[in-house]
Each structure stands twice: as structure tokens, then as C-alpha cells.
């Protein structure tokens, strides 16, 4: 199976770091986000990746080639000359995926140890990994009108969010736009037609790196967990 990685974004919330460094190359616990992702993909048996690049692509492609060569992973890439959204970026890779019955698509800013074997299509066009919502706020525990305690940034296990990891069938390109985001176009249409499977994944490590604080917290986490111990 091939994995396609969305790495073309500007990473605006991580400026000024991303003014000169593409977000996937930002260091977390001593090595780039992309390096962690490639280790995770390799642990899942994936040996071929396609990078969907755009912003600061020259440096990203050079470093990615170096990382992939060391890990024995085949690498191809596309380049957005203008921002096309996640859907448009994927559309550029359609020819590179024409012989694949299914493939993995992941956001280029997540760190996880999930096993991709837990994703399956069945009769669906796409399957989306879902993880419990981690709130960024402290939550008060109430008994009547009395506060009896607090939970700091709890995981809300009755609310599920998009984990940015998708298993996609070859028919996905019937729904992918030449410009626009997958969430607002292809995935919305698939959900209306009941062709989008949601796979709830609990008990795994998953974080999206969207802020400077995320960089710090995930760096601490990676001293305790392994992305190659997939489950």
C-alpha cells in the first residue's frame, strides 16, 4: 500500500518558525515531524510514499529524499504551484495512484501510533480514522450547583474528531475537486451518500501539531511512547 502525505500547507499558526522551515520539518523531540511519520508508516509495513508539497517545497523534498533513502522507502512527490486545498493537492497525484485499489492519506502534522490495519473500506469509498476529542480547557465537575473538582484538558470519549488519517479507494477521484478541501467537498458528498466509514480508535496515541505549545507537549510525550509500537 502507498501512503500519501499532505505537506504543502503554510503552517501559519507556527510562525515565525514556518517562515523559513516547512511545518513537516519542524523538530519534535529531536527530529522532524516527517521523520516520525515515516518511522510510523514503515512500522505499518508501508514502503512507498507520495508527498503532496507546495510551500517551501525545495528544502522539504531534499530532506524527505534523504530520510526516505535511509529508511528504504520509495518516494515520489507533486508540487502545488498555487494553493489548491487538500482536495486539489490530492487530485495532482491521481496519475501516480491509478494502479492502486486503495491507499492511505494522512495529514503532515500528526504524530500517532495507530495501526492502519484497523482501517477497512467494506462497501465504502473512504474510511476516516476518528479519535476522542481532547479539549484544550479545564472542565469543572458539578454536583447540583457545587463544583466538586476539575479535570485538566480531559479526553471527551463521547465526542469523536477527524484524526487526519484516511483509507481511500480508487473511486475517491470521482469526488475529489481540482480545487478545494476534501472535508468540504469529497467527504461531505460521501457522507450524504453513506459511503464514508468512521472508524473509532481509542487507546492509541494521537496528536496534531498546530501550535507552539503542541510542539512542546508532543516532544515530552515522545520520550514516553513509541510511534513504531503500533496498535
State how far the Cα of 56 lies from the Cα of 108, in Å rounded to an integer: 14
State how far the Cα of 135 lies from the Cα of 79, in Å rounded to an integer: 34
The one catalytic residue among 151, 153, 157, 179: 153
Burial (CB < 10 A; 0-12, 13-18, 19+), residue 91, is: buried
- Torsion sign (Cα): 114, 118, 191, 5: positive
State how far the Cα of 37 lies from the Cα of 172, in Å rounded to an integer: 23
Cis peptide before 16 (omega within 30 of 0): yes
Query: By three-state DSSP, how is residue 9 classified?
Result: coil
Buried-exposed string 37-62: b where 16+ CB fall within 10 A, e elsewhere: bbbbbbbbebebbbbbbbbbbeebbe
Query: Is 71 among the catalytic positions?
Result: no
Catalytic residues: 153
Amino acid at each position: 500500500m502507498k501512503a500519501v502525505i499532505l505537506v504543502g500547507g503554510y503552517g501559519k499558526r507556527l510562525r515565525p518558525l514556518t517562515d523559513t522551515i516547512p511545518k513537516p520539518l519542524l523538530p519534535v523531540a529531536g527530529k522532524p515531524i516527517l521523520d516520525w511519520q515515516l518511522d510510523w508508516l514503515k512500522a505499518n509495513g508501508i514502503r512507498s510514499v507520495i508527498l503532496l508539497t507546495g510551500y517551501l517545497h525545495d528544502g522539504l523534498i531534499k530532506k524527505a529524499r534523504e530520510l526516505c533513502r535511509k529508511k528504504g522507502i520509495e518516494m515520489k512527490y507533486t508540487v502545488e504551484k498555487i494553493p489548491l486545498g487538500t482536495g486539489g493537492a490530492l487530485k495532482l497525484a491521481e496519475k501516480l495512484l491509478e494502479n492502486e485499489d486503495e491507499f492511505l492519506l494522512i495529514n503532515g502534522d500528526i504524530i500517532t501510533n495507530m495501526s492502519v490495519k484497523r482501517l477497512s473500506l467494506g462497501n465504502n469509498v473512504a474510511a476516516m480514522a476518528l479519535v476522542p476529542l481532547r479539549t484544550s480547557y479545564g472542565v469543572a465537575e458539578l454536583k447540583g450547583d457545587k463544583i466538586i473538582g476539575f479535570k485538566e484538558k480531559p479526553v471527551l470519549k463521547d465526542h469523536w474528531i477527524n484524526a487526519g488519517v484516511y483509507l481511500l479507494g480508487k473511486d475517491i477521484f470521482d469526488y475529489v475537486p481540482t480545487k478545494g478541501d476534501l472535508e468540504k467537498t469529497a467527504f461531505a458528498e460521501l457522507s450524504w451518500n453513506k459511503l464514508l466509514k468512521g472508524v473509532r480508535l481509542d487507546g492509541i496515541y494521537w496528536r496534531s501539531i498546530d501550535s507552539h505549545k503542541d510542539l512542546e507537549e508532543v516532544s515530552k510525550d515522545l520520550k514516553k511512547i513509541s510511534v513504531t509500537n503500533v496498535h
